[in-house]
Structures are given as structure tokens and as C-alpha cells.
Structure 1
Amino acid sequence: MQTRPEQLPDDAIGPRKENASRVDVGSITQHLQSREMRGSDAASPGSEMEESGSLKKRDVILDYDAVFNTSETRWPLVVFSTVGRLGNCLSAYATALTFAGRSDVTIAVTQSIYEMVTLLVEPSSLSLPVLASELLFEAQQMGAAEVVEPDYLRDDMVAHLLPAIERAREERAKKPGSRKIYILEGYPNRMKMLAGHHAVIRSNFQIRRELKQKAQNFLDKIRKKVGENTTFIGFHIRRSDYVKFTKNFQKCSLPSSDYYEAALAHYRARYAHPVFIVASDELSYAREHLSHAQDVFFSDLLNIVYRSL
């Protein structure tokens, strides 16, 4: 029996959005050209800030008419899809980018992935086409889309990707006029797949300007307290749903406070003036175990992002 998504941790779960409103957009080719134009205008702070907060859907999200009722769409379409939260969506988008750079099929992502990723990333820096949720729903209803699932039982989220893309290429070769969408479900989580593609991933994942400014302001305040000659070290503590998940599915427990102390000692021995910035989905727990240390500070920026979910 396969492990279904509802059995995965909360980070791998998010609402499907099947009723996205239709938008009047151009073809995929026009979409990519539009993104290139926005990229060339990125040096204008005023326009970028306005566009960053609410990028027009008509410039980004492709609906049924924009994909099927045009001669410019390059078939087949292979769409990466996940119902995960921010971490899984970032991973899915990054993995999709690696295939876009070495495949002659059109690689895209779902609207839900795009909307989750842009909580953290500048919309104008992203390069992949985005397919509206309603489009995918309609395509499945009409038999023009096939859902390809991973092997949940073996927790293998990547073995189905390349075979599905290869099959899409082969079917197009046999039937050049066919129009079909392949929806690749799952949570691609193999970092080695990103090797050799770091440059394109970094170019796409440009942190939103307002978030970078908040982080910079936070660090500047700490510098005033501890001095300029410091080395900032990020310290992330993931708990919430992972407390039960690791116990039930991985048969282990999360690190204890002894582990945290050992980690602090390790970096204190390596750097002259380390300052630890702690982020966590349970800041109260983190403070309980680490607030005694004078070189530890707690950041709420992670929760600011997640409160937008």
C-alpha cells in the first residue's frame, strides 16, 4: 500500500487550488519574452518594488486558451506539481529548472508552486512557464493530461521524472500533432540532481527585496550590540509536525538540547567572534533551550514568511 501525501509531514501538504480565475494571457512564447523584458528592467527600483508585491497574473499564469488555443505552444508540456509548502515548492522549482536546461520538451510548474515560491523569491527573476490550476483541471477532465506519480511506498520522489519526460518526447515523435500535458507529482528532494545547475537556480532564486531589507536591518541592530568583527551563523530548528513525523515514519527523534550545545561549541572553536541567528517554527522551544547563551539571537523573519501561507 502506498504512502499517500496526507501521511507526509505538513511541509509536504498544501491546499490544491482548482478554481483559479481565468486570465487573458499570451502564449508560452509571449510569456517567456515578457519575463525577459521584465528582467531587463529590473534595475529600476521603483517599478520593481511595485511589480514585486503583486505581479500581474496576466503576465505570468497561462490559462487553457493561452496554451491550447494557440499555434505557438511547444508540445508536449511537462509540469512539475507538488502540494507541499515553501521548502518542497522551492525544491520542485529548482529540479524543474535542471530539466528545462537539458530537455527539448516544455518544462513548466503549477500555479500553486509559483505562488508559494514567490512568497520568498522575486517573481520577475523566475523563468519557467506557469500553468493555471484551472487549466490543469480542465485538461484532465478532457483526457489531455496525464498524472505521473512517484513511488510513495519507497519514498522515491525522483525516479519517475526522467522516464516520464523521455516518454513525452517519444510520444511526440510518434504523433507530432498530439497535444498532451504530463503532470509530475511528488516532492523531488535529491540535491545531487541540482549539481551543475547552480548558476541558473541562483539566477532564478533572487530573494524578495523587502525580505532582504528586513534581514539586513535585523543584522545591523545585532552588530551595534556585539561589534562589527563578527561572523553570523544561521541556526535552524525545525519542529512542529516533525516531532511526530520523525517518530512515526523515520523511527527516530529530533535532536536534543545536547546536540544544540555541541553545535554551538563546534563553531565557537572555529571562529573568533561567532554570532548565532536562530530561526525556528517553534521559537518558544528554541528560546527555552538557547536563550542562556550571550552569542545567540532569535529571528522571527521565518515566521513572517510563513504567516503569509
Structure 2
Amino acid sequence: MIIHHVHHSVNCKINRGAWTIYSTGRLGNQMGQYATLYSLAKLNGHKPCILPEMYDALVPLFNITLPVIQEAIALEIPWKIYNLHDWMSPRYYNIRGKYVLLHGYPCSWTFYHHIRNEIHREFTFHDHIKQRVNNYLCKLKGERKKVTFVGIHVRRGDYVNLMPNLWKGVLADKAYLEKAMSYFRTKYKGCLFVVASNGMGWCKKNIDASKGDVHFLDNGNEKLPWKDFSILAHCNHTIMTIGTFGYWVAYLAGGETIYLSNFTLSESKFLNLFREESAFLPEWKGIAANLSALISSNHS
């Protein structure tokens, strides 16, 4: 079923001011930017509007409510550009400007967790998506009486080279996934692990499916992330690796979340952009990455 969405017209009274955020990156980034704009505009008493690119990225999935500012109008506005880093700072409570264009890749609960009910409402899936996902999970459940669905997102793709070479970091390995899965198998009855990845070949080699409790989603298309995302976000619990896609899956799913912690060397430039305590909710559980291969290649 194809749904043609029409941009809803801007409800912002532009002459009274407008705040927006530069729209860039894939689904997880766009969600982080949207939630941050929503929260910061509210904290500073301004009207948020989104650019058409952000609307196009999010509306196929979610019942978002922020009005769209048309491109022709946006181009005429004398925006004040305001750069954000990845976590909330006291100075963001007092951003001045009638027309503010926020910039950055914020993806941190520290911006908006105080209004999490509103953020969850903005990221409510369309009914037809909920129905399709529930039918899908129902089929997976089959004859089993009780199933605990655990979504696993394994970020591979460009990070396979970027993490070790640019960021002095590692990706989730086989041992990490085994530990995380074993945590859920021990704690919950009838676990069924649903795996999504942009490196499914690696997952099928490294995730042991011999117990019959692992299901691989064969749809790692980065241009069409909605199917994987909506299925994982409907699971009871989450195992994430790295990246904003997995973060948002976990944030929307609720339940318990296990994440890969300390995945870079202490001298990594990634740590200028990223703080673990701002990236993962305090109640989520971290399993430390194995950095031994990186450390030995650094010393060789």
C-alpha cells in the first residue's frame, strides 16, 4: 500500500518568529534532530517548524505534528545559525533569536527525556504500520504460548572501516552479542530474538541460531529503513550495538536495553562528540567492548 503524503501547510505564524533545525542524516539522526528541536523550542518559548526534508523522512512512519515551513519561505528568512553538541547544556535554556536554525547531530535523551510522553506521541507509528508489524510478530510467535521479543540491531556498513580507522573504536563482536542474548535467555521465558542489520551476512555467521530462537530480518536496505525499524521498536526489549538507529529503537520499545559500552580507546576523537552518560539512559545496561585487537594493533 502506497500512501501519498501531502505537506501540511505551515501553521507557524512566520512573522512572530520560527525555530527550525537543519535536516540531515538518515532516520535515527532525523529523529534526534526532530525531538531536540521540539524540546528546545518549547524550553525557550518559540514555535518549532520543520523543513520539508525532515517531514519527508519521518512522515512515512510517524504521526508527527510539527508544521512544515515551505522551502521558498525558509530561503527568505534571515536565520541565526546555532550549533548544538550531542548533549544538553545549561546555555541551551536561553537561546536568543526570533528565527533560529539549529545545527548538529544531537541524539541524547538529555534534551527531551523530561517530556518523553510528548516525544513518544510524536513518534507514534501510523495505524497501518502497527497492524502490519503486529501481524508479522504474531506469525513469528506461531504456536508458542509465551514469547518475549528481543530486537537486536547490529550496525555494520560504513562503520566497519570508520570505527577502527577513524575513531579508534570497535563494533559489536560475536562475544558481546552472546553475552547480551544470554542475559535475556536467563531472565525471560520464551525469548525470540529478531535481528536487523546492514551487514546480515556477518550476523548469520556470528549469531548462533541453532536453538531456534533467532529470526533474521532479511531487509537491511538503508534506503528503506522503516520495515526493520518498526518491527524492532515493537519488540519487548532491545540489544543495541552502536548508532542512532538502535538508540531510537530502544527508546521507543521501552523494556530493557543492553548496549555496547567503552567501544573506543580513551584517546579517540569520537569522545569529543559523544558522551556515554548522555547517549544511553541510566537504567540501560552496558557490556564493555573488547578493545584488545585495537590495543595490540596500536602498539604494533
What is the TM-score of this pair, normalised by structure 1? Answer: 0.64
Instruction: Tell me which of 178, 194, 204 is aligned to 2:112.
Output: 194
Assess if the C-alpha contact under 8 Å between 2:30 and 2:54 holds in 1: yes
Partner of 2:66: 128
Q: CA deviation at 1:308?
A: 7.6
Please give the per-residue CA displacement for 1:22-61, whole angstroms capped at 9, x wherever unaligned: xxxxxxxxxxxxxxxxxxxxxxxxxxx99xx22322x23x
Hey, what's the Cα distance between the residues in 1 that align with 2:120 and 2:150? 21
Give the 5 Å matches for 1:112-151.
Answer: 112-122=53-63, 126-139=64-77, 144-150=78-84
The correspondence for 1:182, drawn from 100, 110, 121, is 100
TM-aligned CA deviation for residue 249 of structure 1:
3.6
Q: 1:241 to 1:133 in 2, by over 3 A?
A: farther
Q: Distance in 2 between matches of 1:259 and 1:146?
A: 44
1:102 aligned to 43, 65, 69, which one?
Answer: 43
After superposition, give the CA deviation of every residue in 1:106-155 in whole Å (9 maximum; x if it has no partner): 22222211211123213xxx22222223332333xxxx2232334xxxxx
The answer on 1:241 being equivalent to 2:158 is yes
Q: Provide the rounded CA distance (Å) in 2 between the counterparts of 1:304 and 1:228.
A: 34
Structure with the larger helix share:
1
Q: CA deviation at 1:234?
A: 0.9
The letter of the residue matching 2:195 is: V
The answer as to whether partners of 1:111 and 1:133 remain within 8 angstroms in 2 is yes
Is 1:299 matched with 2:217? yes
Distance 2:211 2:132 in 1: 24
Structure 1, gaps ≥5 residues long: 1-48, 151-155, 169-179
Q: What residue ranges of structure 2 are gaps of 5+ in the alignment?
A: 228-300
SS in 1 for 2:106: coil
Evaluate the alpha carbon distance shift between residue 192 and residue 261 of structure 1 in structure 2; reply closer, same or farther with a 3 A threshold: same
C-alpha spacing 1:258/1:187, structure 2 compared with 1 (3 Å): same
Report if aligned partners of 1:74, 1:106 keep a CA contact under 8 Å in 2.
Answer: no
Structure 1 residues 143-162: aligned runs within 5 Å: 144-150=78-84, 156-158=85-87
Query: For residues 127 and 161 of structure 1, do their structure 2 counterparts lie closer, same or farther at Cα, with a shift above 3 Å needed?
Result: farther
Q: Which runs of structure 2 are paired with 1:10-49 in the superposition (5 Å)?
A: none
Aligned counterpart, 2:135: 217
Within the candidate set 243, 252, 267, 2:184 is matched to 267
Asked if 2 retains the 8 angstrom alpha-carbon contact of 1:230 and 1:273, the reply is yes
C-alpha contact (below 8 Å) 1:275/1:296 kept by paired residues? yes
- Separation in structure 1 between the aligned mates of residue 221 and residue 20 of structure 2, nearest angstrom: 29
- 1:253 is aligned to 170
Offset of residue 268 of structure 1: 0.8
Q: How far, CA to CA, are the matches of 1:85 and 1:161 in structure 2?
A: 28
Count of residues in Structure 1 that have an aligned counterpart in Structure 2: 226
The residue that corresponds to 2:195 in the other structure is 278
Partners of 1:271 and 1:251 in 2: CA distance: 35
State the alpha-carbon separation in 2 of the partners of residues 304 and 217 from structure 1. Answer: 23
Contact in 2 for aligned 1:230/1:274 (Cα 8 Å):
yes
Asked if structure 2 preserves the Cα contact closer than 8 Å seen for 1:120 and 1:207, the reply is yes
What SS does the aligned partner of 2:163 have? helix
Q: For 1:86-107, what per-residue CA distance to the aligned partner results, in whole angstroms no more than 9, with x for missing partners?
A: 0011111111221243332222
Q: Percent identity?
A: 24
Q: What CA distance in whole angstroms lies between the structure 1 residues aligned with 2:108 and 2:226?
A: 27
Check 1:270–1:307 CA distance in 2 against 1; reply closer, same or farther (3 A cut): closer
- For the residue of structure 1 that corresponds to 2:206, the secondary structure is helix
Q: Does 1:231 align with 2:151?
A: no
Paired letter, 1:116: A
CA distance in 2, matches of 1:194, 1:164: 12
